[in-house]
């Protein structure tokens, strides 16, 4: 079971959270200039790495806030938790150890 450190409430069990899937996805546009393939990519194609994954989580049973998580899909190790709107720099070490 995951122990997730909510930026607002601190470490809590995973049952308090909901995973919103891949983070940092931008809607393509303007809409009439977007090809079918680009729409398909936006709607249905997601990164599915065996390793570190950037995703959004919602503390649904707590503060109700969304935030970003960097998590390894093999080990489930959480290497960073950071606020919405921020991008974890590619080369930086994990900003915050989760446990």
Rule CB under 8 A: which residues touch another protein?
1-2, 13-15, 18-19, 21, 36-37, 40, 43-46, 48, 50, 53, 55, 71, 73-76
Question: Distances from the Cα of 18 to the Cαs of 28, 32, 59, 62, in angstroms?
Answer: 25, 33, 7, 11
Q: What are the structure tokens assigned to 73, written together?
A: 């899909």
Q: What is residue 16's three-state secondary structure?
A: helix
73 or 87: whose CB is closer to another protein?
73
DSSP-derived secondary structure letter, 96: S
Minimum distance, C-beta of residue 83 to another protein, in the bound complex (Å): 19
Q: What is residue 27's three-state secondary structure?
A: coil
Minimum distance, C-beta of residue 67 to another protein, in the bound complex (Å): 14
Minimum distance, C-beta of residue 20 to another protein, in the bound complex (Å): 10
């Amino acid at each position: 079971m995951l122990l997730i450190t909510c930026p607002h409430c601190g470490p809590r069990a995973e049952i308090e959270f909901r995973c919103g899937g891949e983070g940092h996805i931008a809607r393509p546009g303007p809409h009439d200039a977007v090809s079918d393939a680009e729409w398909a990519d936006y709607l249905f194609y997601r990164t599915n790495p065996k390793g570190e994954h950037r995703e959004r989580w919602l503390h649904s049973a707590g503060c109700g806030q969304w935030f970003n998580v960097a998590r390894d899909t093999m080990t489930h190790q959480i290497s960073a938790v950071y606020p919405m709107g921020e991008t974890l720099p590619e080369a930086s070490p994990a900003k915050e150890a989760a446990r």
